[in-house]
Structure 1
Amino acid sequence: MSEQKNSNLVRNASVLMIASIVSRVIGLLYRRPLGEILGSVGLGYYGFASNLYSILLLISSYSIPMATSKIISEKLAQKRYKSAEKIFKASMIYAVVVGGVTALFCWFFGSFLLPVTQQNALPALRALAPTIFLSAILGVLRGYFQAHRTMTPTSISQILEQIMNAAVSILAAWLLIRAMAPGGGHNAAVYGAMGGTIGTGAGVLVGLLFMGFVYYVNRNYFRKRVARDKAPDKETYQDIVKMLVIMITPIIFTSFIYNCSAYLDSYLYAAIQGWHGIKDTLVTASYGEYSNYYVPLVGIPLALASASTSAMMPEVSGKYAINRIDEANEQVNQTLRLSMFICIPAMVGLTVLAYPIMGVLFPSASTLAARLLLTGSVFVVTDSFSIITGGVLQAIGKQNTALINAGISLLVNLASLAAMLVALPGLDIYAVMLSNIVFSVVCCVLNIYSMHKYLGTRHEIRKTYVEPLIASVFMGAIAWIIYYLIFMITRRPFIGLLIAVLAAVLVYLILYVIISKIKEDELRKFPMGSKLVRFLQLIRIFK
């Protein structure tokens, strides 16, 4: 039974990881043409609007899939199908009301939330108001299917959403600039940023239509299952809504703290640098490079951590609800191993190949973006760990603990950012990057302590961290040598980068197997593990 459950976790994590990689890569690739259309100032307006949108989305949407998945998965584990369906309907009502109110607030009061020096981002922010409402409904549907331990609908909807987002963002930005600011200049940056955010709404709409279609196709199955449930149904909608509010509120605040740091950092950064007398356009341009080039790149491996957490939560919640603590801990450790197996080599690869990666993907970017990636790639590991450990605490019902830990981390983050910018204004946007690393490190430490206290979790340090790190260090050195040798011969950075990345993947996999002495059966538990085993057998690493 345990092996079957582990297989289910790995399968779901694999599906979400693949979808997350595809979605993030699409999101990364369209930044290049979008950046060339908007320019650095337009990207800055786009970044400020997107950060504030993310905060408002936390209230209406981000917490809903996690909360819905947790509550419904507990009812399904107890075979209380009537209650599960009631919770789904109550969650939808909650999403419509809260999403609608938040969208209206964004439209009418968004100007009060933007920094005084960044009011030109307001048109882009208002274009995102309808997206907030649609995202809330989409979040309920995704959480409902995740609670049923099927991640495929969510994964497909994420890919469709990102494809539409990329296409419409580029097209809308180009059309609005051509129609409203054909001569370029300041207005081109404002309308271009607005066009970019219109694409976000188009993507969410497509994702919602797909998830609605999936639910419609499966509606008879859900109805029949509810009809077979003969258990007494004592819960009223009022009770369920109250439970949702109690459950969702701490998750909202925790998610808010995790994600609002970007908004608060941008606000504080703009305010303090303005106080130092630095021009608004320079501040906007620097933040544009940070938020649109550095953040999306480190976000690709971080998406894998989020995918692992989404797949893990219903598994851990279900086991914890029926008091299978050892099995819950087993799932937690397996999730951490899966994430570190990918995130640690990603951190090393982004560090050693920072300049060619930025040069190939974003040729219009300045060297600032590459320097940020070179010095800030460690954020991949620290933040992925904080995401997973925070998800564990929420899965076992310790939302308030996760909230307190995140709150303490945020205070340390903001204090360190303010201190760095006031004392050393020359750090500029690097201070924002460093303060985010501080946030994730503090959160990791606090969450580890809490997990040990409430769940008795003991981390497998050698398997989870040491072995992939040793393999990654050697991988990074080899990748760096290969890239610069090929670049010296061909003078084509794309060819050198492609070969270096492919070689890095191969070298890391071989070194990891040799260093860890992992068995075939263990490796099969990793995402796409069977394919990895067959490949290693082909090259005689596994006999």
Structure 2
Amino acid sequence: MADKNSSKNNFIMQAGILAAAGIISRIIGLLYRGPLQSVIGNLGLGYYQSAYNYYTIILLISSYSIPSAISKAIAQKLGEKEYRNAHRLFHGAMIYVLVVGGIASLFLFFGAGLFVSGAAVTVLRTFAPTIFVYGILGVLRGYFQAHKSMAQTSVSQILEQIANAVVSVGAAYLLIQMFMGTMEVPADQAGQVMRATYGAVGSALGTGVGVLVALLFMAGVYALNRGMILRRVQRDRHEHVDSYGQIFKTITLVVTPFILSTAVYNLSSTVNNSIYTKWYPSLRNLDTVSIYEKYGIFSGQSLTMSNIPIAFASAMASAMIPSVAQLMAARDVKGAREKIGLAVKTTMVISIPCAVGLFVLAKPVISLLFTNKTAEELNLAAALLMTLSLSVIFYALSTLNSSILQGLGKVNTPIINAGISLVVQTVAAVLLLMFTSLDLYSIAIANTLYSGMMCVLNQWAVRRAVGYRQEIVKTFVIPAFASAFMGAAAWAIYEGLYMVTKSMRISVIPAIVIAAVVYFVMLILMRGITEQELRSFPKGYLLVKVAKKCRLLR
């Protein structure tokens, strides 16, 4: 029993390490978004995000799914102690990404005009080399994740984001200063477009440099461990050695469903971008520059904020794939059910209060991190974030369940579910834009609808796949009640401080800190989390120590 509990704790700990790194990376990403927005403006953000959406799709098809797919394939070999075949899979995956990543990079560079037009073409071409570099990085990350070691990936993510932040802002500033001669925004529209383009190109360069820095770190870690890895391979006494033909077949069979699932799953933002920036202006005869500015507010501010809590679910998902794959390979269905239930509960304990917090404190949080020229821009960004807040819970659960299904071998199910959800979202967005005056809110509503559909379909599919029933009260009800108390406390504290300070930025930070404490206390008092589960979190022993000193735990 002790071993079982230790396994559970290690699983959550590894996911927690990756989640902490993901959240730190997202926070770094947020902190630099404010200065970046000040440099390139909402128009520059609009061009950057439009190009980034298409870059993401090509990346998803070629390289992005590699860590998850490779970790699953290698984890299965490790579970059977086939260390030689696991290492040959690693080599085969490296060859795969060099070929596929190279082709995808060239296609994106020379075919950028097929996806975007005008200023965004140059920005999209700047992203092209990053795809090739990311594929190599993805294989190295997947190799260590297969060994249930998330620390390497975690550190590389943080280094990637730091380099991205520094170079994005610095390169954007230097390019604008170099080619425009001044940081002042031109009065004419042509000058504004040119300035925004240079700024967006600088930000795209930052993305590439960040991935390169992460690759250098991961390559260094692999070099340090290479001797130990090769010694283990030499001690492998399995007679059967997979041929590279078998390996490439395995990689193709494993990677392709991951690619399709991830691509369709993430196609939502690209479709929304195309509908709003291309189809909608022609429908209403609107100025495309103003459309890109508003889309920059939505994607660069509101959507970016709503994506932060989902980092935990993404980390949990990365930890789930090799764990569930090994359990299913060992035919331990009961163990897989327990791990799934624990992962869902942990994700909801984090995601539900985050969604409530973003809804209650949307305006001051946006004000804290971004500089909007007018109160109208601030109000728009805050209202859009409130509209998106529910999607935090839906995306967290659907992201986790997609990876669970992949780990269970149900690789086609997330693709089908994502396709159904995408159709529903697209129809909803088009109808709302055609027959209502909701404008950009139509995209936010469609986004939430998409995540909700995915959440329901994936949860139902997991339930059918392994016959498990998720515990309801401690997973959903208690976190929801505790979050309601937290939200009320956050709102009251913020409003009280704002009456005194008249500053949203000064008032929101104490409100967030106290709200987190209130949620922690309420969750324990309502018995929503056990001491054992609390200890499994990173630095959980400190949380337990504090809880016991405050007599919240006995």
On whether the aligned pair clears a TM of 0.5, the verdict is yes
* Cross-structure match for 1:477: 488
* Cross-structure match for 1:272: 279
What secondary structure sits across from 2:372 in the alignment?
coil
What secondary structure sits across from 1:218 in the alignment?
helix
1:123 and 1:191 in contact (8 A); partners too? no
One of 85, 94, 118 as aligned partner of 1:92:
94
* Cross-structure match for 1:352: 360
Change (3 A) 1:243 1:317: same
1:29-68 counterparts in 2 under 5 A?
29-68=31-70
* Cross-structure match for 2:388: 376
Q: CA deviation at 1:320?
A: 0.7
* Cross-structure match for 1:12: 14
Aligned equivalents of 2:272, 2:531: Cα separation in 1: 45
**In structure 2, what residue type is equivalent to 1:209?**
L
* Cross-structure match for 2:189: none
- The two structures have a TM-score, normalised by structure 1, of 0.97
What secondary structure sits across from 1:377 in the alignment?
helix
* Cross-structure match for 1:511: 522
**In structure 2, what residue type is equivalent to 1:442?**
M
Which stretch shifts more, 377-386 or 401-410? 401-410
Aligned equivalents of 1:206, 1:395: Cα separation in 2: 30
Tell whether 2:343 aligns with 1:331. no
1:69-84 counterparts in 2 under 5 A?
69-84=71-86
Which stretch shifts more, 342-351 or 518-527? 518-527
Corresponding pairs, count = 539
One of 319, 326, 336 as aligned partner of 1:311:
319
**In structure 1, what residue type is equivalent to 2:172?**
A
Q: CA deviation at 1:527?
A: 4.1
Large movers: runs of 4+ above 3 Å: none
* Cross-structure match for 1:212: 219
1:13 and 1:308 in contact (8 A); partners too? yes
- Same amino acid, percent of matched pairs: 42
One of 486, 492, 500 as aligned partner of 1:489:
500
2:70 and 2:143 in contact (8 A); partners too? yes
Aligned equivalents of 2:542, 2:366: Cα separation in 1: 31
**In structure 2, what residue type is equivalent to 1:402?**
P
* Cross-structure match for 1:147: 146
Aligned equivalents of 1:286, 1:259: Cα separation in 2: 21
1:38 and 1:189 in contact (8 A); partners too? yes
Aligned equivalents of 1:345, 1:188: Cα separation in 2: 40
Tell whether 2:428 aligns with 1:421. no
One of 517, 533, 536 as aligned partner of 2:544:
533
* Cross-structure match for 1:523: 534
* Cross-structure match for 2:466: 455
1:54-203 counterparts in 2 under 5 A?
54-114=56-116, 118-182=117-181, 184=185, 185-203=192-210
**In structure 2, what residue type is equivalent to 1:113?**
F
Segments of structure 1 that go 5 or more residues without pairing to the other structure are none
Post-superposition CA distance 1:8-65 (Å, at most 9, x none): 1011011101101110000001000100111111110011011111111101221100
1:355-366 counterparts in 2 under 5 A?
355-364=363-372, 366=377
1:14 and 1:528 in contact (8 A); partners too? no
Q: CA deviation at 1:356?
A: 0.7
**In structure 2, what residue type is equivalent to 1:273?**
Y
* Cross-structure match for 1:25: 27
**In structure 1, what residue type is equivalent to 2:316?**
S
Q: CA deviation at 1:517?
A: 5.6
Tell whether 2:274 aligns with 1:262. no
Aligned equivalents of 2:128, 2:110: Cα separation in 1: 10
Which stretch shifts more, 201-210 or 357-366? 357-366
Q: CA deviation at 1:97?
A: 0.6
**In structure 2, what residue type is equivalent to 1:204?**
V
1:272 and 1:421 in contact (8 A); partners too? no
Q: CA deviation at 1:363?
A: 2.6
**In structure 1, what residue type is equivalent to 2:166?**
A
1:13 and 1:527 in contact (8 A); partners too? no
Post-superposition CA distance 1:344-369 (Å, at most 9, x none): 00000011011111112113261211
Which stretch shifts more, 28-37 or 514-523? 514-523
Aligned equivalents of 2:140, 2:470: Cα separation in 1: 34
What secondary structure sits across from 1:235 in the alignment?
coil
Aligned equivalents of 1:271, 1:113: Cα separation in 2: 11
- The two structures have a TM-score, normalised by structure 2, of 0.96
